[in-house]
Each structure stands twice: as structure tokens, then as C-alpha cells.
Amino acid sequence: MGACSSESAPPEKAPPSAPAPATGVSAAGDYTFLDRYSGQEVTITGTFQSDRAINGVLVLDSGLRITIPHFDLFARGDDWLKYVGHRCSATGILHTWTKDLPSYHGATLQITSFSGSTSE
């Protein structure tokens, strides 16, 4: 018969986890996929970047870039460049077709809220 021990092993620490896999709009692999969400309020998660310290850019795991026009005005009073290179989420109305705005390439997000992190 096997012996039982009353001592329990210390709980194992979980290894640092990678970001959760993207789902929904954040999992888009191409701009055609984003079209189904055009005009809708969405939450997008990706790596935050900056375009000339004026516009924010969320880079999805697939590499697609979604521009957040005039993020500098939205985040006025915050040192928002600290989020560059970190995983962040933004909510707003997604626009997938932009006319006559040469500085915006691809989709844009009319932002209503932002959740940023400065640690991975």
C-alpha cells in the first residue's frame, strides 16, 4: 500500500505568460476582414505605435495597422508616448474606407476610450 504525505508541495509559479491570442476585430488578418466591422463600435487590442507624435497606431498581431487620428488631442495632458511599443486597447468607431487623406493608410478608429500599459 502506498504511503500518503501530509506535506503539500509549494504552489508552482506560473511562467510569464504571452499576451492572450487576439480575437474578433483584433484577429483580423487583412483589411477585407475589417470591412464587416466598418461603422461599428469595436475594441481593438494591439501594440501601440505613434505616427509623428500626433496620431496613434495600433498594430495588430497580423501586422495590420489601424490609425487613431489626433491621438495627441484625445490624450491631452497624458505623456501618451510612454505607451509606444506596449500592448494597449482602444475602443471607438472603426472606419475602413478613408477618402482623400493621404497620411492615413488603411483603417482608422474614431476613439472613445483607451487602456494602455507600460509593462509587458
Question: pLDDT per position in the chain (120 positions), as tens?
Answer: 555 445 555 555 444 455 556 678 888 888 888 888 999 999 999 999 998 889 999 999 999 999 999 999 999 998 999 999 999 999 999 998 765 556 656 789 999 999 987 775
How much is the pLDDT for 43? 96
Q: Determine the residue type at 60.
A: L
What is the gyration radius of the CA atoms in the chain, in angstroms?
Answer: 20
Place of cell 471607438: 92
Domains, in order of start, for the chain = 24-115 (2.40.50.140)
Which residues are within 8 A (CB) of 93 and not within 5 positions of it... i.e. 6 or more apart?
39, 40, 41, 42, 109, 110, 112
How much is the pLDDT for 5? 46
- The Cα–Cα gap between 38 and 119 comes to 31
